Amino acid sequence: MTVSRRDMMAATGGLALLGAAKLTGRSAHAAVPEAQFQGSPATQAPVAPASGPDYQPVVTLNGWTLPPRINGEWKEFHLVAEPVVREMAPGMKAHLWGYNGQSPGPTIEVVEGDKVRIFVTNKLPEHTTIHWHGQILPSGMDGVGGLSQPHIKPGETYVYEWQIAKSGTFMYHPHADEMVQMAMGMMGFFVVHPKDPKFMRVDRDFVFLLNAYDIDPGSYVPRVAEMLNFNLWSWNSRVFPGIDPLVVRKGDRVRVRFGNLTMTNHPIHMHGYHFEVTCTDGGWVRPEARWPEVTIDCAVGQMRAYEFDAIYEGDWAIHCHKAHHTMNAMGHELRNFIGVDQSELKKRMSQMVKGYMPMGGAGMADMGEMEMPLPDNTLPMMTGFAQFGPVEMGGMFSVVKVREGLDRNDYKDPGWYKNPEGTVAFKWTGDPSKLSNPVRGPAEPAATTEPGAPASEIELKAVKPGGHSGH
């Protein structure tokens, strides 16, 4: 969806211009590039460079890249700050603030050395600015309202211009009424590719921002004054099962970039692999400074990028390792009933409430399977199903799906992984006495086993999977 220049100019009432007179003449500002908008919450295809140096474009999880307009030696973009409606997962929408139809706004991709001109139109009910987090640029283009520029008032359009000084992983967000505007979802990713197409080249490059909201069950608008007790921990304003998978071709070199604009740190953990942190918002990490990890912590205001070689096929979880951050719409006043006999409570409550079911006496895993009545526009705390049953997750959780035989630019969800025969944990059905006195030599054949698991390979340690134990 686009709007015409005439419509945009009528809505903004003209341009208020900022600095950079030494870089270009003002005639270049005569026409504002048409603003492009995106409403779909699905991950959009990467946008390959139409001209200039070659690079591998990024894939924004549940987002998109804003195409530039080439105007001589300048790459021009048009961001529109505005109220948006964002589907956080099927069954829930949030009324947020963002850019060009979404929260977060579109990803901006440029190349080291590019001259960029970014028009920012304000359609919010209050003033705003944009700060280009991590960028090296003139002070007057840094986007701090009152300090480095006048505020962009409702209906105004301002212009930011600078030459990109370095490649790396960056983001943008307001520096005006920041507590409210960032709590409402105003942010976006900014990727600068190296001028040398061979430097730090990867085959697949994924990006997303970590953000969080406090939205009361049944409501639509975040509580902007919340400091710590958020109930929706999200990636690109999406929560599981609404977060798309990271689809990877076996053998690819893969980069995952993320930035943290929440109020706390997030240890991001990926199953099945170890990786190396190769970039921060400060720049590329020298090879001798990298180290192997499976979890990398990202503090508030930081960005991290890690890389790995996709050599192991499968469906591999990727998530924040703070357990409450993989839950949806979780209240903070829940009582702990583990070990409590609730039979008398059930008897009495059933007389008043038909179908009453006490829960929590043995943990909360049963909530992953049950469909309980919820207020409108509210997600279950634990949700999502896969091939073996309920995943019992929410919030900051997705899946890295590594598959052999994908086309180079194929990012479609391949479905669930078909595990080779004998490679799935299985239920032990042998002699129970063997479990208390395990054989320390070669495992003895089981009486019966699940199909596909050779009895000679059993180690008497397999247990029935349950929840997220072990991670």
What is the average pLDDT score of the chain?
85
Q: How far is 71 from 58, CA to CA, in rounded Å?
A: 23
Q: How far is 106 from 109, CA to CA, in rounded Å?
A: 10
Nearest Cα to 125, choosing from 85, 174, 158, 83? 83
pLDDT at 334: 55
Neighbouring C-beta atoms of residue 461, cutoff 10 Å: 10
Q: Which two tokens stand for residue 2?
A: 């686009």
| Ranges of the chain whose pLDDT falls below 70 | 1-30, 330-340, 355-372, 436-471
pLDDT at 344: 77
pLDDT at 439: 54
pLDDT at 349: 73
Q: Are 392 and 382 in contact (CB under 8 A)?
A: yes
pLDDT at 333: 57
Nearest Cα to 111, choosing from 61, 64, 73? 73
* pTM summary value: 0.81
Q: Which residues are registered as beta bridge partners of 188?
A: 172
DSSP output for 58-116: -EETT--B-PPEEETTEEEEEEEEEEEEEEEETTEEEEEEEETTBSS--BEEEETT-EE
Distance of CA 227 to the CA centre of its chain: 20
